[in-house]
Amino acid sequence: MGALRTVVTVASPAEHGRREPIELLVDTEATFTVLPNDVWQRIGLEAEITRQLRTADGRLLEREQGLAFLEINGSRGTVPVVQGGEGDIPVLGVTSLEILGLAFDPVRGELVPSEHLYLCAAEDKRPRVRPSLRDAMTNWRESDLPFFAKLTTALRNYSRRFGVPPRNCCGNYGQPGC
């Protein structure tokens, strides 16, 4: 499978009118998106901090970091970008992919929409229908988890269900014990 390259429209976060399309290599091992210095100059990006970055061959480099407005296939947002040095390869890093709600699909060899995750929202006060014991057993049989992971997940969910105050397990219906 070859490397994935994609066209990204880059703009200044302060002035979206100054925009430029650029082809970037998608690198899910790179933390930040790297843009060439000439692109930084043309669209007016400003450095905010200096970052120390480790390269794949173990070298430690210092590069300027700022913010840029990116658009890829309709996904848009302001992301942290690094100013590339002489000889640096322009890449689209994983931080930008996550912020824009995109993921690399290695089977299809393309960027696909992904789900943004949210750690903890205020508890939903609507009454929930508790899964039946029959549902819990079906979830146990159909789960692809290894036995020990299945057992610990089921015990955690059962303890939440019958604890004080009782809760509707972890809310991840379809897990063993839920």
Summarize pLDDT for 129-157 with one digit per residue, the tens. 555 667 667 777 777 778 777 777 777 77
On whether the CB atoms of residues 36 and 89 are closer than 8 A, the answer is no
* Residue scoring higher pLDDT (114 or 124): 114
Q: What is the dihedral of CA 78, 82, 86, 89, to 10 degrees?
A: -70
Give the highest mean pLDDT range of 16-20, 98-102, 120-124, 158-162.
98-102
On whether the CB atoms of residues 24 and 6 are closer than 8 A, the answer is yes
Global pTM value: 0.67
* Per-residue pLDDT, 174: 53
* Residue scoring higher pLDDT (91 or 160): 91
* Per-residue pLDDT, 1: 42
What's the average model confidence in pLDDT over 119-130? 61
Chain-wide mean pLDDT for the chain?
83
Return the CATH number of the domain spanning residue range 5-113: 2.40.70.10
CATH code 2.40.70.10 region(s) in the chain: 5-113
